[in-house]
Chains A and B, each alone.
Chain A
Amino acid sequence: MRALIKPMMQPHRLFLLAMGIAIVAWAILTLDWSWLPTYLDNGLLLKGLWTTTYMLVLSWAMGLFLAIWLGLAQAAGPWYVALPAKGFCSVIRGTPLLLQLWFLYYGLGSLFPQFPWIRESWAWAYLREAWPYGLFALTMSFAGYEGEVMRGALLGVPKGQLEAARAYGMPRLTILRRIWLPQAIRRVLPTLGGETVLQLKSTPLIATITVLDLYQVSLQIRQDTFIIYEPLLLLAVLYMFYTGLIVLAFRFIERQVPAKLG
């Protein structure tokens, strides 16, 4: 706590702090927040927050898992594995996520009428919902970006270590599990927090394919009440809070992992 208070105790910071408090007070007092209780009571805001959270967590975990394989394929695979992996990463990183989402949701959807049997299959229960497309697109996006990062991290592990492991007669899979991957992941860790924040900031795009996330809820509030700025401001504050949580969490994790490399 003292570490937090001490740097604030400078005249100009106190002035800025006072200005900040004044702005917040002005925002609370003069802007229109009458809609807030309604949407807290009917659970819409919480529901949106929950959707955003699980979309972020699931796409993060699945994306990272895929990214390890994408990185490995590019760093160590034969050309017929490395090339498609590289192509995948380039396409994901070279096109807007919004376009990818619309391609998956409306593009695939426009093909359904030509294949009536799809509606009879077990997959239809998922294909007719919007969230699977959102989750899939977010996962692929994270996998594409992190696959590139993993490739760099894997290639950055000193060759000598792998050679030493081989000289000990370790099987290839064991080398991967004990030496190569752990070191690569340690290398990725400092950037992972930032990448996770980027992923969080991508989630509102799924609202454009009807997923009821936090952003979609704010849109609905805007439509119901014709209030433009307040719901967006609340949203900005919520996302900032969320970003802060992620940054703190990653700082904590990084501190648990010994920083010394190689």
Chain B
Amino acid sequence: MNWLFGLFEPGHALGLLALSPPGWGGALLTGLSHTLEIAIGSYILGTVIGVGGAFGKLYGGPIVKDLLAIYTTAIRAIPELIEILLLYYLVPDIVNRFLLSLGRPRIDLPPILVGTLVLGFVLGAYMTEVLRGAILAVPHGQVEAARAYGMTPLQVAHRVTLPQMLAYALPGMANLWLNLTKDTALLAVIGFNELTETSLQAGGTTKAFMLFFTAAGILYLIISALSGRLFALAERRARRGQPSIRGGGI
């Protein structure tokens, strides 16, 4: 194994990737951790918005339904890059104007927080659609049967709707997660130092663009492979006791 680590020492072919300076490996890993932090944060936020949005779209009043329709349509019709740019300046601007109008001082909104809020808001639109479809896919008879047993609405949701819906929602949710990890790269355009931006900075400083872009690409591939596995496991768990969807009909 020693020859392998030797490759990563300064002066060797891959020395630029060494974990401690002057190698940029550590900086890349910091970028990776920023990418993951933002992705996880906005995924949670997006899921919360998605659950609210899905229930609102199905059971909300007419105005709520229409507003949600506008939200999901508009967000999905405009390029994410433009949404991110617009909201990235707009959110702190509005928050600070609001505070100044109340006579309070400006607040410090860290870029990582704004990035998470913005991506979560965008993801929420997609998540709403995925979860709405999943809720609709739960056979209505089962819900009725649960009610007939005298379960409260909360019990119905907890015991019947949510577990079943999860099985239908997970493939879509897995796709959204994979897209989200890639969409975090768009924050590079704003100068936020996530993985893609860090690899550009490292490339710009050392002029070894190929090396750093490849390294970043491999890290992204590792994320997608690992999370693909995790979602597959979760899906199998959620599907316990259900007939397979595939193989029916065609």
A residues neighboring B (CB under 8 Å): 10, 12-13, 15-16, 90-91, 93-100, 102-103, 106-111, 156, 158, 197, 200-205, 208, 215, 228-229, 232-233, 235-236, 239-240, 243-244, 262
Contact = CB atoms under 8 A, between A and B. Distances in A.
B82 interface: yes
A24 to B, nearest CB: 13
B81 A205 contact: yes
A93 B86 CA distance: 26
Interface stretch (B46-54, B99-107, B110-118, B206-214): B206-214
B188 to A, nearest CB: 6
Contact of B250 (A95, A156, A240, A243): A156
30 contacts: A12-B66, A13-B66, A15-B63, A16-B63, A94-B178, A94-B221, A94-B224, A96-B182, A96-B183, A97-B182, A98-B185, A98-B188, A98-B189, A99-B185, A99-B199, A99-B216, A100-B217, A106-B200, A106-B209, A107-B209, A110-B203, A110-B207, A110-B208, A110-B209, A200-B79, A215-B79, A229-B90, A243-B77, A243-B78, A244-B77
Interface string B67-91: 1000000101111111101100110
Contact of B213 (A16, A93, A99, A200): A99
A95 B79 contact: no
Given A16-B66, A156-B250, A99 B217 contact: yes
Contacts of B224: 90, 93-94
Contacts of B42: none
A158 B82 contact: no
Interface residues of B, number: 42
Instruction: Across the A-B interface, give the 6 residue pairs with the lowest CB-CB distance, nearest first.
Output: A96-B185, A94-B224, A243-B77, A201-B79, A103-B213, A96-B182
B114 to A, nearest CB: 15
Given A12-B62, A232-B86, A208 B189 contact: yes
A96 B187 CA distance: 11
A203 B208 CA distance: 26
Contacts of A205: 81
